[in-house]
Amino acid sequence: MCGICGQLRFDQQVVNPEDLNKMMQKIARRGPDSSGQWDDQQIGFGHQRLSIIDLSNFADQPMVDSALDLVLVFNGTIYNYKTLRAQLIKQGYEFSSHSDTEVIIKAYHFWGEDCVNHLDGMFAFCIWDKKHQHLFVARDRMGIKPLYFNLTNKAFSFASNTQSLVAIGADTQINSVALQQQLSLHGVVPAPNTILEGVKKIKPATTLIIKANGDITQKTYWQPKAQRPEIELSSHEYIEKTHELLTKAVLKRMDAADVPIGVLLSGGLDSSLLVALLHESGHKDIRTFSIGFEDIGDEAGSEFEYSDQIVKRFNTKHEKYVVSNSQVLPRLGDAVANMNEPMVGQDAVAFYLLSEQVSKHIKVVLSGQGADEAFAGYFWYARMQAEVGSEVERFSKHYVDRPYEEYLQTVNKQYHSGNHTKTWLDKEFAKAHADEFMDKVFRTDITRLIVDDPVKRVDNMTMAWGLEARVPFMDAQLVEHALSMPPSLKMSEQGKYPLKQISRSLLPASVIDRKKGYFPMPALKYVRGEFLEFMSDILTSSQCINRGVFDQQFVQKVINKPDQYMTALNGSRLWHLALLEYWLQINVDSNQ
C-alpha cells in the first residue's frame, strides 16, 4: 500500500522535478517507509512506500525493469501474486524480488493490457512502456484504490489524491455536475468527476492507454451482472457458497502480507463475522481494535456492549479507545485535510482517530465495508422495494438527500445547470443484465455509490496514518455471487440473511439479531452547541460568501433549525454544506 504520482507531458517539455516533489509531499503520509522518484524526459513518477510485502529494498518503487523497458508505480495489494509469480516463472521470467509489484510488471509484459483480468486484488497503477511510448493506467474492479488525474493539452498528471494535483495548478473551479451530486448523494460524486473542474478520477474496472502525443484509449474490463445463474441455486446453496467465498476472501487477505494484520471491530455483525471466520480457520492471537464516542441524548456513541462480547468469545488481543466530543473539533481539520474529496459520512473522523491509534501497533487491518451494500443491510432497501413510481423515483425518495427543488434554493443560480443526479441514476438503472428493480439498486450501490462513500472514506482515513485497510466483503468474486442472489433472500430477517445464517454457529445471538448500528459519531449528526457554532462560522465566513456557491438566505434557514433539515438517511444537511465549504477552505484556498 502506497501513494503514487506522476506526469506524462505532450508538449515536448521535460517533467519538472519540482512538480514531482510537490505531489510527493501531498501523498507522503500514505507511504511513510520510503520514497523514490524516476524521470526520463517527458515522463516522471513519484512513489511513497508503505512496506507490507517483501520488506527489502528490492521491492522499492518506482520499479524499473530495464530488460523489459518498463517502469511501474503501484498502490495496493495483489492477493494472488504468488500464483501469478509461479506461472510467469514457468514462462521464463526471472524475478529479483518477492513483491507483488514486480509480478505486475511481468504480467503486463506477458499479457499486455489484459493483465488486469489476471490480477486479484485492490490496485491503482501506472506503467510506462518505453517500447510503445505509452502510459498504461489501471484501477481495480471495485475502485478500492484511488487514482486521480488532471488532463490538459500539455500533460496527463496523476496521483493518489486530489491535493497533489491542486498543488501543481489543477483548475479548482467548482464542477456544477459534481456539486449537485455531492449535495444529493451524501458526498458521492461518481467517477470521472470530482468537485473540482481540473481533477478527474479513473472509473473502477477501467484501464487507460495514454500515448506520448496525448491520444487516450479507455476500456472497461469488468461489468458484473445482477442476474440469477442459469441453474439457480437453492437458498441453502446460496448461503453455503457465501460462506465459502467469504472465508476465501478473508484468508487470502491475511496471506498476502509479511507483517501482522488486525481487524477493525465495530461490534456489528460484519466485523464480528470477520473475526469469527479467522478463528474458524485456525488463526490464533487475533488483534482487534474498537473506538467509541460520548452519547448524545438517546444516541449511543459506542458499540462496546457488542464488541466486548466478540473479544471475550474469541479471546482476541484487543485495544479499545474512547474519544470525548471535546476531542473531535480540534482534530476535524486534520481529518478533512486528508480527505481526497469532501466526505460527509459522520464516521470519517472516527476512522481517522481510530487509525491513528491502530497504526502504532500494526500496518494492515481488515474492515467490514461492503457487507450492507452486497447483502441488503440498510433500512432503506425495504422502503424502496415497497415504494411505487418509476425505478429512479422509488430509489430517490429513500436515498437522495435533498429534492432538486431544494437544491436550487441551496446554491446560487450559476450552478443551476440541471438535475445531474437524476440523469446519472436514469443511466445506471437503464443498464442491462439485471433481473428486477432491487437487483439494480444493489448493483448501483455496490459498484458505483459505495466506491465514493464508505470505501473512499476508509482508504483515506487509514492511509493518512500509513495503515492499509482490506475489505473482504468487496472481493470481486463475492460481489458477483451476492449480485446473483434473489433480493428476497438477502432482505429476509430485515436484511443480510445469508450472513446471519452463516453466523448462527459462530457468533452470539445478541450480535446477530441486534438492531442495525452505524459507526457512531453523534456530534456530527445532531448538530448543537459548539458544533453548531463551528458550522455556522464556516458557512457565514467571508471565504464562503466570496466563493458564491451557497445562497446565504437558505443557509441561514438551515443554521436556525438544523434538526428540521435531516436527510432520508438520517444525516444532517447542515453538516453536508459545512463540510463541503470546510474542505474547500483547507484543501483549495490554503494551497493557492
| Buried b / exposed e along 466-477 (16+ C-beta atoms within 10 A) | bbbbbbbbbbbe
Of 4, 46, 49, nearest to 468 by C-alpha is 49
CB 23 within 8 A of CB 5: yes
Cell triple for residue 90?
Answer: 514457468
Of 504, 30, 565, nearest to 269 by C-alpha is 504
- Residue 507 identity (one-letter amino acid): L
* Distance, CA of 164 to CA of 160 (rounded, Å): 8
Peptide bond into 192 cis (omega under 30): yes
2 is catalytic: yes
Cell triple for residue 205?
Answer: 474496472
DSSP string of 255-272, one letter each residue: HS-SS-EEEE--SSHHHH
Q: Taking the chain, what is the end-to-end CA distance rounded to the nearest angstrom?
A: 29
Task: State the catalytic residue, choosing from 2, 5, 115, 126.
Answer: 2
Q: How many residues does the chain have?
A: 592
* Distance, CA of 577 to CA of 580 (rounded, Å): 5
CB 462 within 8 A of CB 469: yes
* Distance, CA of 192 to CA of 204 (rounded, Å): 10
CB 99 within 8 A of CB 53: yes
DSSP code, position 132: T
- Residue 192 identity (one-letter amino acid): P
Compute the Cα dihedral for 310, 312, 315, 319 and give only its sign. Answer: positive
If one counts every other C-beta atom within 10 angstroms of the C-beta of residue 239, the result is 19
Place of cell 466486548: 308
- HEC string of 479-503? HHHHHHCCHHHHHHHHCCHHHHHHH
Of 375, 517, 346, nearest to 441 by C-alpha is 375
CA dist 190 to 222, 376, 579, Å? 17, 21, 18
Helix (H) / strand (E) containing 396:
helix 391-397
Q: On the CB side of 11, how many CA atoms lie within 13 Å of its CA? A: 10
If one counts every other C-beta atom within 10 angstroms of the C-beta of residue 508, the result is 15
Place of cell 434554493: 409
* Distance, CA of 63 to CA of 139 (rounded, Å): 18
CB 381 within 8 A of CB 364: no
DSSP code, position 299: B
Catalytic residues: 2
